[in-house]
Copies of this chain bind each other. A is one copy, B any other.
Amino acid sequence: MTKCRGEIVLMFEVKSYIQQKKQVIDTSLEKILTKSQASETLVKAMSYSLMAGGKRIRPILCLAACEAVGGVSEDAVTVACALELIHTYSLIHDDLPAMDDDQLRRGKPTCHVAFDEATAILAGDALLTLAFEVLATIPVEDGDRTARRLQVIRLISRAAGYQGMIQGQMLDIASEGHKLSAGELEAMHRLKTGALIETALTCGGLLGGADERQMSMLKGYAANIGLAFQVADDILNVEGNPELMGKAVGTDLEREKSTYPSILGVQAAREYSTKLVQSALQAIETFDKHADPLRGIASYVIERRR
């Protein structure tokens, strides 16, 4: 079964799908920011980090989940953009001197290096707030869409908040210099990156009209794919090419961060990420060909070089 799915994955042109959806997201994000009349430096800092060439994995997963359950991805673009606004704010704040103190992100100086620390804190705050403004900006007279949008805001705010992504970052910071078990590491990543990735998929499903069974399958896919991304990132931090990745490598080791390669070894970490991708594919194996983009993205995870 897995072999058969593997063939479907190969047949589907995942790179051009990702490229096309990335273009849609980039164009929409640019439009959101150029509408503004706000303080020039603030908007420059927001735009600097937002348009710095991110992979747009979360919004693309959101669009692909919408399509996977038979929906039209155009209906999910606004929500997908909000997810990227939140992801970008979290990167800006995580890079701050008081947190990970990173100098380079996506091949460019981090926001607080390019501007200053106060501007970076405020740009992050502004992107987070803008995500909710974008989510709340639909015609209020549209009953069904209004109720669904409110449900989306609830899902995203929970995933991004103190019981989700932010708690994950707290655990990550607290863990520096300590050796975590594989279980502790997984629990941290499920919050720090897994919660928002899962929400990208469930929101996409919701907007595409998924039933409960489909939602549960999307969650199964999400849990595995979110962790697979993290394991692959950890491996790239050990073995990656800094020029291709646009950020420094070997930083996890320097900071004595617990990572999958440091706990399991590189080879076992690689096998683990393959196993996770297989589990992700199995979770959605009863979906029809509309889910091929989700299948393709799963395989892409372990093949990517940055």
| A positions within 8 Å CB-CB of B | 36-39, 41-43, 46, 89, 93, 96, 98-99, 116-119, 121-122, 124-126, 128-130, 132-133, 135-138, 140-141, 143, 146-151, 153-154, 157-158, 160-163, 166-167, 169-171, 173-174
A163 contacts across to B, CB distance below 8 A: 36-38
A-B contact pairs, 6 of them (CB 8 A): A39-B162, A39-B167, A41-B174, A42-B162, A129-B161, A140-B148
Alpha-carbon separation in the docked complex, A117 to B129 (Å): 21
Alpha-carbon separation in the docked complex, A116 to B170 (Å): 12
Q: Are A132 and B117 in contact (CB under 8 A)?
A: no
Given A43-B162, A129-B157, A166-B129, check contact A147 B143 (CB 8 Å): yes
A146 contacts across to B, CB distance below 8 A: 143, 146-147, 150
Return the contact of A162 from the options B93, B130, B148 (Cβ within 8 A).
B130
Return the contact of A125 from the options B43, B93, B126, B132 (Cβ within 8 A).
B93
Given A130-B162, A163-B36, check contact A170 B42 (CB 8 Å): yes
Given A136-B153, A138-B150, A140-B150, check contact A126 B36 (CB 8 Å): no
Shortest CB-to-CB span from A129 to chain B, Å, is: 4
A153 contacts across to B, CB distance below 8 A: 132, 135-136, 153
